[in-house]
Amino acid sequence: MIVFLAKDKLPALLSELNEMLEVVAPVRIGNDTAFATWVGQPIDFEKNPQISPTEFLLPQREVLFKYIQHSGRYVFEEVEPKSKLILGMRPCDLNAVKVLDKIFGTEPFDKLYFRRRRSAILAVLNCSKPEETCFCSHLGAGPECIDGFDLLFTELDSGYLIESGSSVGMLILKEHSDLFQEVKSVYLAEKNERISKAKETLNSRPNLSKDKIMGALETADWESMGNNCLSCGGCTFVCPICHCFNILDLGVPDGERLRCRDSCILSGFSRMAGGVNPRKSAGERIRNWYFDKFQFIPENTGLLGCVGCGRCISVCLASMDRWSLKVPR
């Protein structure tokens, strides 16, 4: 099913959806754009936010359960995630979700991840405005979304083309049909034109591929990169596929068991109890990060561990060029 929504009707659609579930969308906060709960703020599809909406599926910090002493025994309380519609997720991030699904779906099956995943409706936005650091097309992760979405938006001059990709998506389009208009053939032409243009922009950038990056990994100067690295962990915190976490219990005798994001860039991540560290230097840890994306994840899931969203480039405190794997000189 495919419909057309005039630009001025978008708030009305979101308001109606908002009555049933929490709508998450890229909104303006100050001069920035970030994914947050939509409560009527202006939507901004211009920029791809620095923090991927995958944080709504795998939060930075999540309560697994509360433990409470009760009549001499412990009782455990779990929190049910709210149903969400995530609007404006771009194809790169949807591809990241596909990788996360594989990782968390492998035994032992991660119940908590899938509880959030199942309660989220993904309304993806075809990418017509790649950021300067994007290279999704080189890794087959964008700019156009083919499958895996519930709804697919494409921004046109006067409105949005909305396609359904699942039964939930189709239900939504049917339920709010009064807001939509019929799709004209010029709209479809405009969609194709916008996507080709985005592809052109992306393809004009240095030609990258998995094989090329793998080649660069063999010759990269990890030591120099490690010497420059300021150990901020930013690359792991913005990566939509990075998913490592730590578990800690906070509170005695009552408290919470938390799952918090972790970072393999930190030395404590791989350090053993006795102090031995198989990845002692920052350079070795950066190398591991790359090999995870381009070798280990592909071996384990059949999917690439990088979707070319480019966020690790702009977030790097040491301005490392992540495409050429070179430190600035």
Partner 1 sequence: MDKVLTTCVYCGCGCGLFLHVEDGRIVGVSPSPMHPMSKGRLCIKGWLAGDFVSHPDRLKFPMVRREDRFARVSWDEAISIIKRKFREISDKSGPDSLGVLTSAKGTNEENYLLAKLARAGLKTNNVDHVARLCHAPTVVGLGYAFGSGAMTNPISSLAHADVILIVGSNTAEQHPLVASYILEAKANGAKLIVADPRKVQLADLADLHLKPKPGSDVAWINAFLNVIIQDGLINERFIIERTEGFEAVKQSVSVYTPELAESISGVNAQDLRKAAIIFGSAERCAIVYAMGITQHIAGTDNVQALANLSLATGNIGLDGTGLYPLRGHQNVQGSCDMGALPEFYPGYQKVSDAREKFQQAWGTDLPDRPGLTALEMMAAAENGNLKGLLVVGENPVISFPDTYRIKNALNLLDFLMVMDIFPTETTELADVVLPCASFAEKNGTFTSTERRVQRVRSAVAPPGEAKEEWRVINELICQLGIASCYSGPEEIMAEIASVTPIYGGIDYGRLDVNGIHWPCPDRNHDGTPILHNERFPINRARFRPVEYIDPYELINDDYPLILTTGRSLYHFHTGTMTRRTSLLDREVPVPFVEINSDDALAMGIRNGQRIIVETRRGQLFLDARITADISEGTIFVPFHFTEAPANVLTNWALDSQSKISELKVSAARIRRPEDDRFSG
Q: Which residues bind partner 1 (CB under 8 A)?
A: 24, 29-32, 34-37, 50-51, 55-56, 59-62, 227-228, 230-234, 237, 246, 248, 250-252, 255, 260, 262-263, 266-268, 275, 314-319, 328-329
Q: Of 51 and 68, which CB lies nearer to partner 1 in the complex structure?
A: 51
Residue number with CB closer to partner 1 (75 or 250):
250
Nearer to partner 1, 170 or 232 (CB): 232
CB of 135 to partner 1, least distance (A): 18
Considering beta carbons, is residue 72 or 275 the nearer one to partner 1? Answer: 275
Nearest alpha carbon to residue 268 among 260, 185, 208: 260
Distance CA 145, CA 307 (A): 13
Question: What residues pair up with 66 in beta bridges, in sequence order?
Answer: 77, 256
C-alpha torsion 116→48→310→315, nearest 10:
-90
Say what the alpha-carbon torsion angle 101, 302, 269, 238 is, to the nearest 10 degrees.
-60
Closer to partner 1 at the Cβ: 78 or 193? 78
Q: Which of 31, 50, 37 is nearest to 238 (CA)?
A: 50
Question: What three-state secondary structure class fits 181?
Answer: strand
Minimum CB separation of residue 35 from partner 1 in Å reads 8
* Minimum distance from residue 305 beta carbon to partner 1 (Å): 21
CB of 143 to partner 1, least distance (A): 20
d(CA 132, CA 207): 14
> Which residue has 């119940």 as its token pair?
111
Cα–Cα dist 92/308, whole Å: 7
- Least gap, CB of 39 to partner 1 (angstroms): 8
Strand order through the sheet with 255-261 = 73-77, 61-70, 255-261, 245-250
Closest separation between CB of residue 272 and partner 1, Å?
A: 12
Shortest spacing between CB 52 and partner 1, in angstroms: 10
244 exposed, middle or buried (CB, 10 Å; 0-12, 13-18, 19+)? exposed
Cβ-based nearer residue to partner 1, 156 or 282: 282
- Nearer Cβ to partner 1, position 29 or 189? 29
Give the C-alpha separation, 244 to 307, whole Å: 17
